[in-house]
C-alpha cells in the first residue's frame, strides 16, 4: 500500500487546524475520466508536523483542496510505495500578521501578499473605515424572573422605530473595553482566556461583545465563550471587524448603512472549518468534516457549544436524507442530551424541535416541537446564526399550522414575533449570531 501525506502549509501561531479543509483525490493514470474520484479526505493546515495520511494504490493522482473561502488548490503527484509516504503540500500564502492567521485560514481576510499588492496598486479601499470602531465585552445572566437579560434588552431595542436613527442599546451589565490589534482596514479583538469551564452549571453566564463606532452604529455578537477543545484545553475566541463588502467592492454596491461587519471565530482545530464551510453554504464539506469529528464532538460532551455546531450541520443533512441507521439514531439521542443537560443553551432545544417536526422514528410530534421552540426562545439568543434561522422557521411553521387549525397559542405567537425581529437583524454570513442594532431607513 502506498500513501500520500497531505498538508496545507500555514503557520497558525503554533497551532494546527486538524480539520482544515477537504480534499478530493482523483486517479489520473487510468484515464481520469468521469467517476475518477477515489476518495475524499481532510487535509490539515499547519506547519510540518500537521499532516493527514491517505492510503492509495500506487499511481498518479490529482489532489484538489476546496478551502472554506471557496478557493481551490490542486496538486498532482505520483504516489509510490516509498516507506515514508509521498508529501503533497498546498500553499495558501500568509496573513499580514500572525494574529490574523486564523481569520485568513478560515477565509475571512485576504492574504498579506494580496493586501500589499492592493496597497501598491492604489486600490480604492477605505483604509480608515474601522478606525473609530471600538469593542466591549460583557457577561449577562438571567433576570430575576428567569428571562434572558440580553434577549429582553434586544427585544426592546429592536422594537424601536428605525426612523429614530442609531440609538445605543440599553444594557444593565457592566462592560469591559477590549484592546485591538490593528491592520487597516481590519481590527482583531481577542477575548482573555477563561481557564474555567462550567457548562454543567445551570446558571452558566453567557458572554457577548458590543461593537460600535462614533456614529452610534452597533453590532451585538454572541461569543462562544469559553470554548473547550476535545483535548481539554481552551481555544482562543476572537472577532475581527472589517469592511462589510470585499475589499475590491465598487463604491456603488456598498450600502450606506452597513459599512463594517464582525466575524467571530473560536480557534478550535476540529470545529472552526466545519463552521466556515457551513456558513459559506458548502454543507457537503461541512457535513464531511463534522462526521469525521462526530464522536469527538458528542461522546463526552466536553463542550456543548462545539457539539451544537456539529449537530446543526448533521441535522441539516439528516433532514434531507433521514437515515435510520443505528449510528445516526445515536447522535439524535445526543441532541436530547444537549437540550436537557444545558438549560442555558437555546440551540439544543432548537435542534430538538426540528428533529421532532421531522419525526425521528417516522412519528413527527408537533407538540414536542412547539414546546422545544418556545423554550429555546425563552432561553435567549441562539449561539449560532443557523439557530436563529431554524428557530424562526420552526415557529413560523407552528404558527401557520395553528392558524389553519384555528388555535391561538400566545406563547408561540409572542416567541415568533421576538425571534423574527432578531432574524431580520442577523448577519447570515457568519456562523456565530451577530445582530445589527441599527438600521438607516433612507
Partner 1 sequence: MTQLVNQPLQRGAHALVIGVGEYPWLDGGTQPRFAHFEGMGQLSSPPQSARAFAEWLLSPTGYNNTACPLASLDLLISDSSTDQFVPPGGTSTTIQRARFADISSAILNWFARGNDADDLLLFFYCGHGVARGLNMTLLPEDYGSQQTPPQASLTLAIDFDGLYLGMDSCAARNQLFFVDACRVASGMLMRTINFSGTPVIPGMAQISSPPRNAPIYYSAVPGITAYGRPGKPSFFTGALLKAFRGAGAGDTSGAWALQTDTLVLGIHHQLRRAVANTAAVGQLSTANHVGPPLAFHQLAGLPECPVDVLCDPESDTANATFAVSGNGVQQTRVPQAAPWGLDLLLGDYQFAANITAPSAKSGQSTSRVAPPFRSVKIPVA
Residues 289-328 that bind partner 1 (CB under 8 A): 316-317, 319-322
Using CB under 8 A as the binding rule, whether residue 357 contacts partner 1 is answered as yes
Assign 417 to helix, strand or coil.
helix
Nearest-angstrom CA–CA distance, 268 and 248: 30
- Residues in 372-391 that interact with partner 1 by CB under 8 A: 385, 388-389
Residues near partner 1 (CB under 8 A), total:
81
Taking the least distance from each CB to partner 1, the nearer of 1 and 404 is 404
Taking the least distance from each CB to partner 1, the nearer of 269 and 349 is 349
Nearest to 306 by CA among 266, 351, 350, 263: 266
Q: Which stretch binds partner 1 (CB under 8 A): 73-81, 142-150, 176-184, 374-382?
A: 73-81
Answer yes or no: are the C-beta atoms of 44 and 16 closer than 8 Å: yes
Least distance CB 196 / partner 1 (angstroms): 34
- Residues in 143-202 that interact with partner 1 by CB under 8 A: 161-163
Least distance CB 301 / partner 1 (angstroms): 26
Answer yes or no: are the C-beta atoms of 354 and 365 closer than 8 Å: no
Nearest-angstrom CA–CA distance, 282 and 316: 12
CA–CA distances in Å: residue 412 to residues 209, 339, 343, 380, 396: 29, 19, 19, 15, 9
Taking the least distance from each CB to partner 1, the nearer of 142 and 436 is 436
Using CB under 8 A as the binding rule, whether residue 64 contacts partner 1 is answered as yes
Using CB under 8 A as the binding rule, whether residue 122 contacts partner 1 is answered as no
Nearest-angstrom CA–CA distance, 111 and 11: 12
Binding residue for partner 1, selected from 341, 364, 368, 411, defined by CB under 8 A = 364
Least distance CB 236 / partner 1 (angstroms): 27
Q: Angle, nearest 10°, between helix axes 304-321 and 272-279?
A: 40
Binding residue for partner 1, selected from 13, 30, 71, 131, defined by CB under 8 A = 71
**All cell numbers assigned to 310:** 456539529
CA–CA distances in Å: residue 233 to residues 17, 303, 308: 15, 11, 18
Least distance CB 303 / partner 1 (angstroms): 26
- Residues in 240-279 that interact with partner 1 by CB under 8 A: 244-246, 248-250, 252-255, 257-258
Q: Which stretch binds partner 1 (CB under 8 A): 34-42, 133-141, 148-156, 336-344?
A: 34-42
Using CB under 8 A as the binding rule, whether residue 400 contacts partner 1 is answered as yes
Write out the DSSP string of 204-235: PPEEEEEEE-TT--EEEEEE--SEE-TTSPEE
Using CB under 8 A as the binding rule, whether residue 39 contacts partner 1 is answered as no
Amino acid at each position: 500500500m502506498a500513501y500520500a501525506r497531505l498538508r496545507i502549509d500555514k503557520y497558525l501561531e503554533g497551532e494546527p487546524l486538524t480539520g482544515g479543509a477537504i480534499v478530493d483525490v482523483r486517479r489520473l493514470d487510468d484515464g481520469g475520466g468521469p467517476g475518477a474520484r477515489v476518495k475524499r479526505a481532510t487535509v490539515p493546515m499547519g506547519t510540518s508536523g500537521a499532516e493527514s495520511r491517505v492510503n492509495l494504490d500506487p499511481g498518479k493522482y490529482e489532489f484538489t483542496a476546496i478551502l472554506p473561502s471557496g478557493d481551490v488548490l490542486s496538486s498532482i503527484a505520483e504516489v509510490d510505495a516509498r516507506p515514508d509516504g509521498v508529501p503533497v503540500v498546498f500553499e495558501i500564502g500568509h496573513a499580514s500578521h500572525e494574529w490574523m492567521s486564523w481569520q485568513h485560514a478560515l477565509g475571512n481576510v485576504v492574504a498579506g501578499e494580496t493586501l500589499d499588492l492592493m496597497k501598491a496598486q492604489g486600490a480604492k479601499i477605505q483604509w480608515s473605515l474601522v478606525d473609530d470602531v471600538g469593542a466591549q465585552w460583557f457577561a449577562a445572566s438571567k433576570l430575576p424572573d428567569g428571562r434572558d437579560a440580553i434577549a429582553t434588552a434586544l427585544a426592546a431595542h429592536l422594537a424601536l422605530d428605525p426612523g429614530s436613527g442609531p440609538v445605543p442599546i440599553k444594557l444593565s451589565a457592566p462592560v469591559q473595553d477590549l484592546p485591538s490589534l490593528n491592520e487597516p482596514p481590519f481590527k482583531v479583538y481577542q477575548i482573555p482566556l477563561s481557564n474555567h469551564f462550567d457548562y454543567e452549571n445551570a446558571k452558566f453566564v453567557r458572554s457577548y461583545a458590543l461593537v460600535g463606532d462614533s456614529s452610534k452604529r452597533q453590532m451585538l455578537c454572541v461569543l462562544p465563550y469559553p470554548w473547550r477543545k476535545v483535548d481539554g484545553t481552551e481555544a482562543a475566541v476572537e472577532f475581527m471587524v472589517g469592511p462589510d463588502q470585499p475589499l475590491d467592492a465598487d463604491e456603488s454596491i456598498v450600502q450606506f448603512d452597513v459599512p463594517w461587519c464582525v466575524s467571530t471565530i473560536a480557534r478550535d482545530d476540529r470545529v472552526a472549518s466545519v463552521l466556515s464551510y457551513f456558513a459559506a453554504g458548502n454543507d457537503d464539506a461541512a457535513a464531511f468534516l463534522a462526521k469525521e469529528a462526530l464522536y469527538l464532538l458528542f461522546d463526552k460532551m466536553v463542550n456543548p457549544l462545539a457539539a451544537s455546531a456539529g449537530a446543526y450541520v448533521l441535522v441539516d443533512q439528516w433532514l434531507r436524507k433521514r437515515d435510520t441507521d443505528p449510528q445516526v439514531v445515536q447522535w439524535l439521542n445526543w441532541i436530547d442530551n444537549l437540550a436537557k443537560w444545558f438549560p442555558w443553551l437555546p440551540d439544543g432545544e432548537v435542534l430538538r424541535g426540528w428533529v421532532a417536526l421531522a419525526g425521528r422514528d417516522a412519528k413527527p410530534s408537533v407538540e414536542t416541537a412547539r414546546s422545544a421552540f418556545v423554550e429555546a426562545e425563552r432561553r435567549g439568543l441562539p449561539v449560532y446564526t443557523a439557530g436563529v434561522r431554524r428557530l424562526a422557521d420552526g415557529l413560523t411553521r407552528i404558527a401557520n399550522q395553528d392558524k389553519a387549525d384555528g388555535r391561538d397559542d400566545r406563547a408561540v405567537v409572542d416567541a415568533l414575533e421576538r425571534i423574527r425581529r432578531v432574524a431580520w437583524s442577523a448577519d447570515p454570513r457568519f456562523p456565530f449570531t451577530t445582530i445589527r442594532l441599527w438600521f438607516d431607513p433612507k
